[in-house]
Amino acid sequence: MPSPNHPFPPPISPPATLSFFLEFSLNQLEKAVEAAHTFFMANPEHMEMQQNIENYRTMAGVEALQLVDLEARPHLESYSAGVKHYEADDFELAIKYFEQALREYFSEDTECRALCEGPQRFEEYEYLGYKAGLYEAIADHYMQVLVCQHECVRELATRPGRLSPIENFLPLHYDYLQFAYYRVGEYVKALECAKAYLLLHPDDEDVLDNVDYYESLLDDSSDPASIEAREDLAMFVKRHKMESELIKSAAEGLGFSYTEPVRAKREEEMVPSGVNVEGAEVHGLSMGKKSSPKIDRDLREGGPLLYENITFVYNSEQLNGTQRVLLDNVLSEEQCRELHSVASGIMLVGDGYRGKTSPHTPNEKFEGATVLKALKFGYEGRVPLKSARLFYDISEKARKIVESYFMLNSTLYFSYTHMVCRTALSGQQDRRTDLSHPIHADNCLLDPEANECWKEPPAYTFRDYSALLYMNDDFEGGEFIFTEMDAKTVTASIKPKCGRMISFSSGGENPHGVKSSDKEGERTWKVGDAMWRENNWERIQADEVIAILDREQQGKHELNINPKDEL
């Protein structure tokens, strides 16, 4: 039976949050928060669980220290702690945690390899139909074990719940350490770590320069040639290369394919950046603001806006980010009113979110409608066809502006176009602390703890650019915000108003969200476009409806029919 203090749990979605629900029902609040936080760390895109955590953090007795990840892996936690101290210029503590992370890493590597020594698996063929000879069976089993052990490097670089490993994970420990040891004056250890890093990335010019500089700092009693790469990594790399050769040879002989889990770092993935220290240029991982995620295209902006009356407001630099632009007067006041009018006839609660009334926050009602639905309603006479056509035309206008302003060398198509209304629910706005739309990225899963954005499902990984076009400003709050990848540090805040458009690239370089409205009953209206390199099926259908309407209109003009004669 629910307790008097906590009569009912907030809405949750079983079975993923079953542990959280059961522990709440048993009034074990601390364990409930731990279970919720653990689930959220592996599923940072899960909006409802994020809201659950925020709800329980406001309850008495729930402190930040209770946000424990029950599936946290020690070496990853130590690594994250090392990065935080490094960025705070606390190099002594950074060294402590990076060294601890390495000890834990190699210990977990040993355990991971031991677990590979199990019975032979038969995923690719039926057990009863397996007719290999003795030597072939032995070779088959041995290669299964060897491939499994070789994959431990990928396994240990992958956070719980994620599909993709942290890029360049093990070498980064030594890259951080070489600079940290330099900053505390331990030049021999700095040299050992730099040489260790070069075992995996021998052509890294920054670290090669560091090696020369560290050698010049040694006293006369030290022979630079006698200082070798760290033994822990040297042994690891030697074993890894031997395994790679064995697997490569076996793959050719036994006819299976294999992708190496550790690869050389491409030039555009180079992590170190120059930091000038005491007059000498020594290269370490950049401190302070983390570098933005890499974008696999040329970054350009400032192209023509194509349409008269559109007002340029801010570019990427003024919005403190990458590939961002803010424009005004993309819609006129009259067009905003007309879209309001058509919206009232086509919007559906929970549209696009499987009918969920409040998909992002329980404090607001969400309504939406697509371009295709508007055109169908217009064609059927349920809403003015002219207004439905305006919805389509405005989305095309936004696409052309984005293509032109960001000077893209290929055509953008629509992934999704949605007219949205958010309404602040009565009785639920007092002491509200959540966001109208939590911080996220559009084509990857934002992981603030890891400072990463994982480009994997269920994120819409195919999206390239996004645009939001506001239709009203008769409300308080509701600002659109950009943040750093920590999902906390706001880099830009934009007040909505009729005709204002914000557009940006859809990746982890642009985490964003929406602040809540301040008053009950206030409604925020906007049109959202997500664009990529291929058209989605619904947009193709909308284009076909437009083509039919254009042909019908053309036919009327060619026949010179007076509309009154048709009545």
So which residues are the catalytic ones?
A: 523
How much of the chain is helix, strand and coil, in % rounded to 5? 40, 15, 45
Q: What is the DSSP letter of 477?
A: B
For residue 493, what are its two tokens? 């805040």
Q: What are phi and psi of 390, to 5 degrees?
A: -60, -40
Q: What is the DSSP string of 168-217?
A: THHHHHHHHHHHHHHHTT-HHHHHHHHHHHHHH-TT-HHHHHHHHHHHHH
Q: Are 465 and 476 in contact (CB under 8 A)?
A: no
d(CA 163, CA 456): 7
Q: What is the DSSP letter of 259?
A: -
Find where tokens 């809403």 sit: 383
**Coil, helix or strand at residue 512:** strand
**Coil, helix or strand at residue 524:** strand
Find where tokens 């407001």 sit: 313
Q: What is the CA radius of gyration of the chain?
A: 29
d(CA 76, CA 236): 18
**Coil, helix or strand at residue 530:** strand
Give the distance, in angstroms, between the CA of residue 504 and the centroid of all CA atoms in the same chain: 14
d(CA 365, CA 521): 10
Residue type, 147: V
